[in-house]
Amino acid sequence: MSTLSFNNISTEVLSPLNQFEIRDLLSIDALGNLHISITNIGFYLTIGAFFFLVINLLSINYNRLVSNSWSISQESLYATIHSIVTSQINPRNGQIYFPFIYTLFIFILINNLIGMVNRSLCILSLFISSIFGILGIHKPIFQRLSYSSLNSNSQVNTQMNISKDSPRYSFNNKNTFYLNPDYITGFVDGEGCFSLSLFKDDRRLNGWQVKPIFSISLHKKDISLLEAIQRTFKVGKIYKHGIDSIQYRVSSLKNLQIITDHFDSYPLITQKRADYLLFKQAIALIKNKEHLSLEGLLKLVGIKATLNWGLSDKFKESFPTVKAAVRPSVIYNTSDVKVKSLNWIRGFIEGEGCFQVITQNSPPRRGGWRNVWLRFSLTQHIKDEELLKDIAIYLNMGRYYKSPTRNEGQYLITIFSDINNKLIPFLKEYPLLGVKQEDFLDFVKIAKLIESKTHLTDEGLDTIKLIQSNMNSKRIIKEE
């Protein structure tokens, strides 16, 4: 059970059923898309094979007249299984199947004994569920729970893998191969996009085709993060999207069902939730074939007019009489629209967070003093003001600031003790998974220099400026 405690922040309590989850112990990304890993199930199978070998070695009698206790127990086990097999099949054909059944029995026995150890991996249960999946039997065997104990309104998120098409979530915060569902939602709240693609198609009776698209666009240096989202959802493709940009995209109705199922179970809580609700309306119209009629097409164009940046001038000319759909109202601090998980905050920071270092060095005539400030920020439209205020309360650090000139607000952490004693421990326990993690690690290096007062020396200040020169947009990622 992983726990984290700093001031008033409580952590998520992992379910005991995490012992049914396959996790990477050691992983290597090689040759681009090739992922090689040693998992916990491989490790436990190796332990089982080791015990099997040891038992057989101990049972060797080395031509002694009197058998040792290990040898006697092995012979007794052998004779018992042989008797059962031959009596249940027949003495002749039973001999054919006996070696396989004997080996299988020993395998089950050893791994059952290992599985009885507290918190060890239940290997046989995983094998059974895998066999059911291969045979197409998708009855849920295990129920995965994630408990959030941050406040009295915390809920238990329950996710049951009932289909081979269901996302492959991981509730291990350090897993970079499959992702936590709350982390994905937080990240999409920051970086995701729900849109309708509308283009002319002479094959259609109304002359237009509409395609709903869920997408996430990032710099190409974060391709591993998009690949992890793709692996977790098990749908979608990644495309080049500009010179330095890539895009994860899901557009088929079948695959979009997996996306909408996710966001129904793990709801968005920023104003992007309104776009999502409109997006679902559009999908429902298309599933009902209403987009094939002129009336249904106009409804979809009306939804597009409200989504994101609205209609372009070209579409306004093509549909001059269309009425924009009513944008759903998203009121923060209702049952579904509130911060409930540290993993959601982690994902939101991945998308919108910024680690900044500010250095100042006064001229000698003013005393020659030097100073370094660390600042962490989350910036959102003024419509998400209540969300940013709640994050400050939820984490018990930072404050909300409203911009006097723009329609935006910022959640800021500027007090060094909060950064050093709260923010950094939090993001070590709930690590970022993209390139922004490199900025955080540099942020931590500078915090250590400030804590040790090294920043007050010329050498220390030069070191900080060197680290700062490779942070955020200035970071250079070596191409493999």
Which structural domains are found in the chain, ordered by start? 23-117 (no CATH), 181-318 (3.10.28.10), 342-474 (3.10.28.10)
Confidence of residue 456 (pLDDT cuts 50, 70, 90): confident
pLDDT value of residue 411: 95
Quickly list DSSP for 90-144.
-HHHHHHHHHHHHHHHHHHHHHHHHHTSTT---HHHHHHHHHHHHHT-------E
| Kind plus residue range of the DSSP H or E element containing 226 | helix 223-233
Residue 270 near residue 384, CB atoms below 8 Å: yes
Tokens 């599933």 appear where? 287
Nearest-angstrom CA–CA distance, 181 and 157? 10
Nearest-angstrom CA–CA distance, 306 and 279? 10
More confident residue, 26 or 318: 318
User: Is the per-residue pLDDT at 229 higher than 90?
Assistant: yes
In Å, what is the CA distance from 356 to each residue of 185, 344, 404, 469?
25, 22, 21, 11
Q: Taking the chain, what is the end-to-end CA distance rounded to the nearest angstrom?
A: 37
User: Is the per-residue pLDDT at 19 higher than 80?
Assistant: no
Residue 167 near residue 234, CB atoms below 8 Å: yes
110-132 residue pLDDT tens = 877 877 776 666 666 666 655 55
User: 291 is written with which tokens?
Assistant: 């987009």
User: Is the per-residue pLDDT at 25 higher than 60?
Assistant: yes
Q: What is the pTM of this model?
A: 0.67
Average pLDDT, the chain: 80
396-414 residue pLDDT tens = 999 999 989 999 999 999 9
Q: Which of 60-64, 100-104, 387-391 has the highest mean pLDDT?
A: 387-391
Window from 37-41, 89-93, 226-230, 364-368 with minimum mean pLDDT: 364-368
pLDDT value of residue 160: 40
| Kind plus residue range of the DSSP H or E element containing 410 | strand 408-413
Nearest-angstrom CA–CA distance, 348 and 342? 10
232-258 residue pLDDT tens = 999 999 998 888 899 999 999 999 999
